[in-house]
Amino acid sequence: MGRRLIIIGLLFLAAVLAPRAARSQANVDTISWTSTCVNTTILFASPLLDTFFRPDYIQWHFSDPGSGFNDSSGATKPRHVFAATGSYPIELDVYYRGSADTIKLFDTIAVVTPMAYNFGPDIYVCGKKPDVLIQGPVVPGATYLWNDADTTTTDTIRVKESGIFTVAVNGCAVADSIGVFASDTPKINLGKDHIMCDSANLQLTAAAQNGVYSWLLNGAPMAETGDQIITHYPGGTYVAVVTVPGCGVFKDTVSITYAQPLRPPFNLGPDTLLCPNQIYTLNAAIPGATAYDWSTGSADSSIKISNAGDYYVFVTYQGLCQVTDSVLVTYRNDKPLDFHDTAICKGSTLVLNADFGQGTYKWSSVPPQRDDQNQTGQSTYFVYKAGKYAVLAQVGNCVYTDTLTVSFDDSLQVSMIKDTTLCYGENFGLRVSGNADTLVWQDGTLSNVYYPTQPGIYTVIASNGCGRDTLTANINFATCSCRLLLPNAFTPDGDGRNDNFRPLHACEMSNFEMNIYNRYGELVFRSLDPDAAWDGTLHGGARAPAGAYVWAAHYFNPVTKQPVFGKGTVVLIR
């Protein structure tokens, strides 16, 4: 399986490159795919399409007419499903209009049937994290890729995190997977024995990670299989049996019985949201209470809360039986309301959002807005007029306020060069500066930059929420002796041909600067002299890897008296 790269443009080249198994992720002249399995959606991509400048045209060819979807145009990452196994040539055509280059990448994908393999049963271990070795299928000479965080590439994998794992052999995932799960050693605690008042039902909890549950009442199995049950009159001795794979079987026993009198009215109130640093009192006092047993260890009738948590209390009634209740206390974070003064266009609407959760909201404005806008009680508020706005939000026990001033601006401010003369072949973009949201050019193009290719009057309609404006530019072209022309590839191999990259026709250029970047946006070469060339080396003299690089150059044209900017790609071939 191999690949080829062909570049058509200023410099005609054709090269047969290294086999796919040896290609580096640092190269851009590659085609990649996510799977080689038949009847699977495969995602194709190429680093060439991740460079700075988007191509004007993209075409993929999958050599699979039987699928009914043989080609894909315009997609940088197309998807394709091969319905039959076999070897399929893949072609990617990339066209850059600005430099008149067409780059063709070729590769071959071997589509196969997923390998039948049985990992065996899932693995359970006791502890916070697993540390197990999993053996995959052994295929001499095959490539492996596991779905773990380290993307292991051997036939075995050491698993140190819980999850479900599979492996792709030669790019196609096997048909089986294996789960590896770690469970903390459970601590089953059903609490103290209690004599509850009649109808004061009590919830027992035996939750454990990955647990399987069964319950006994007075030695007899119960129907419940969840991690919680509700006790009922007359109660008895309850046993929770929790089986945790990899850890074993764990049990706990508690006696919950019921006695007269009936449960008296008792509750701690609703779950409560508190403000930061707020102190809150929970009061469990009821007529007839003779003792209190809080989850905090307190034996008082009330406790003061300063931290979030789930608080509960058992209250002994008339010295005979107990009732219980719990409250979940949470705290609001310190996030404040944070409106800022702003300006919007006349005729537009500004939406203010003070959403801090379920609560009450009181808005006001100076001067007043419409009657239906004042005192809305909603967390959102619509601004139609200039003025000063304020909100008071009360969420739980928290109160927040904020204000802002809103002004209106009815101006659209845009500008563009009016008249200029360009050299034939010059890559020059018409740019609109200002506060426009959309730009529509004379041919319907929607773009921030427009590149003239022939003499004429170019028109753009600029608009935003404040209005619209029409700008025109008269563009002339002339034959210039000074023109920026660069090759699209070079081969720095020391054979005396195409060893350097520089302007092919250096002429009188002032304020010249050219920068060359790799695919990560890192500067690899800079020149302030059009006669200076890049020899394919990096800082320190190391050889730059093969692949595509982005160049950007600008200079002052002495003929047109205009600045010139050019950009493009160059492929370094070794």
Which residues partner with 168 through β-bridges? 145, 173
Handedness of CA 432, 438, 442, 446 (dihedral sign): positive
Same domain, 436 and 352: no
Q: Is the pLDDT confidence value at 313 over 50?
A: yes
Beta carbons within 10 angstroms of residue 348's beta carbon: 13
Buried-state track 529-567, b at ≥16 Cβ within 10 A, e below 16:
ebeebbebeeeeeeebbbbbbbbebbbebeebeeebebb
Chain-centroid distance of CA 481 in Å reads 50
Q: Specify the higher pLDDT residue, 10 or 518.
A: 518
Asked if residue 169 lies in contact with residue 176, where contact means CB atoms within 8 angstroms, the answer is: no
- Kindly state whether residue 81 falls inside one of the protein's structural domains: yes
State the average pLDDT over residues 269-276.
Answer: 85
276 and 313: one domain? yes
How many folded domains does the chain comprise? 7
**CB-based contact 557:511 (threshold 8 Å):** no
Helix (H), strand (E) at residue 564: strand 562-572
pLDDT (tens digit, 9 = 90+) per residue, 42-73?
999 998 887 656 677 888 999 988 766 677 77
Q: Look up the pTM and report it.
A: 0.49
CATH number at residue 78: 2.60.40.10
pLDDT score, position 48: 81
pLDDT band at residue 15, thresholds of 50, 70 and 90? very low
- H or E stretch including 551? strand 547-557
Tell me how far CA of residue 347 lies from CA of 16, 220, 369, in angstroms: 62, 74, 15
Q: What is the DSSP letter of 20?
A: G
pLDDT level of residue 486 (50, 70, 90 thresholds): confident
Work out the average pLDDT over 267-292: 91
- SS3 string, 90-128, reads EEEEEEEHHHCEEEEEEEEEEEECCCCCCCCCCEEEECC
pLDDT at 380 over 90: no
pLDDT at 327 over 90: yes
Do 374 and 425 share a domain, yes or no? Answer: no
Domain edge (last residue) among 381, 402, 423:
402
Between residues 487 and 265, the one the model is more confident about: 265
Is 67 within the bounds of a domain? Answer: yes
Give the dihedral sign, CA 71/75/76/78.
negative
Tell me, yes or no, whether 178 and 276 share the same domain.
no
Structure tokens at 119: 């990992």
Residues 323, 355: one domain?
A: no
- 95 found inside a domain: yes
* Whole-angstrom distance, CA of residue 144 vs CA of residue 171: 7
Structure tokens at 55: 């191509």
The answer to whether residues 8 and 42 belong to one domain is: yes
Q: What percent of the chain has pLDDT over 90?
A: 44
Query: How high is the pLDDT of residue 154?
Result: 96
What pLDDT does residue 98 have?
A: 53
Q: What is the CATH number of the domain that holds 533?
A: 2.60.40
DSSP 22-89: G--TT-SS--EES--BTTSEEEEE-GGGGSSS--SEEEEE-S-GGGT--EEES-SS-EEE-SS-EEEE
* Residue 26: pLDDT over 60: no
Q: Select the more confidently predicted residue: 412 or 77.
A: 77
User: Is residue 215 domain-shared with residue 129, that is, in the same domain?
Assistant: no
Residue 69: the pLDDT is: 65
Q: Are residues 85 and 9 in the same domain?
A: yes
Domain span at 374: 347-402
Is residue 301 pLDDT above 50, yes or no?
yes
Tens digits of per-residue pLDDT, 173-194? Answer: 998 999 999 999 999 999 999 9
Q: Are 460 and 500 contained in the same domain? A: no
Confidence of residue 9 (pLDDT cuts 50, 70, 90): very low
The answer to whether residue 494 is domain-embedded is yes
- Longest CA span, the chain: 109
Domain-located, residue 407: no
Domain boundary, last residue among 183, 215, 235: 183
Tally Cβ neighbours within 10 Å of residue 113: 11
Which band of pLDDT confidence, cut at 50, 70 and 90, is reported for residue 560? Answer: low
Using CA atoms, how far apart are residues 453 and 450, in angstroms rounded to an integer? 10
For residue 443, report the phi and psi dihedrals to the nearest 5 degrees.
-100, 15
Residues 104 and 19 occupy one common structural domain: yes
The amino acid that residue 364 corresponds to is S
Q: 32 and 105: one domain?
A: yes
pLDDT band at 11 (very low <50, low <70, confident <90, very high): very low
Per-residue pLDDT at 25? 39
161 occurs within a structural domain = yes
Three-state DSSP class for residue 21: helix
Mean pLDDT across the chain, nearest whole number?
A: 84
| Residue predicted with more confidence, 78 or 396 | 78
The percentage of residues in the chain with a pLDDT greater than 70, rounded to a whole number, is 87
Q: Under the phi-then-psi rule, with left for phi > 0, alpha for psi from -120 to 50, and beta for the rest, what region is 387?
A: left
Report the range of poorest mean pLDDT among 8-17, 87-96, 276-285, 455-464: 8-17
Q: Residue 338 domain-assigned?
A: no
Whether 265 shows a pLDDT value over 80: the answer reads yes
DSSP letter string, 349-372: -EEEE---SSSEEEEEEES---TT
Residue 222 tokens, joined: 């119960």
In the predicted model, is pLDDT for residue 328 greater than 60? yes
Q: What is the mean pLDDT of residues 156-166?
A: 94
pLDDT exceeds cutoff 60 at 404: yes
Copy the structure tokens of residue 446: 């929607």
107 lies in the same domain as 127: no
> pLDDT by residue (tens digit) across 86-111?
999 999 988 876 555 678 899 999 99
- Buried-state track 419-448, b at ≥16 Cβ within 10 A, e below 16: eebbbeebbbebebeeebeebbbeeeeeee
Neighbour count for residue 315 (Cβ, 10 Å)? 25
pLDDT value, residue 493: 85
Cα–Cα distance measured from residue 224 to residue 158, given in angstroms and rounded to the nearest whole number: 38
Query: By mean pLDDT, which of 32-46, 347-361, 450-464, 515-529 is the weakest?
Result: 347-361
Indicate the residue among 451, 478, 505 that finishes a domain: 478
Indicate whether 286 pLDDT > 60. yes
Q: How many CA atoms lie within 13 A of 351 on its CB side?
A: 5
118 domain-assigned: no
The per-residue pLDDT for range 493-512, each reduced to its tens digit, is 888 778 889 887 656 778 88
Q: HSE-up of 512 (CA within 13 Å, CB side)?
A: 20
Task: Say yes or no to pLDDT of 255 above 60.
Answer: yes
Rounded Cα distance between 381 and 369, Å, is 11
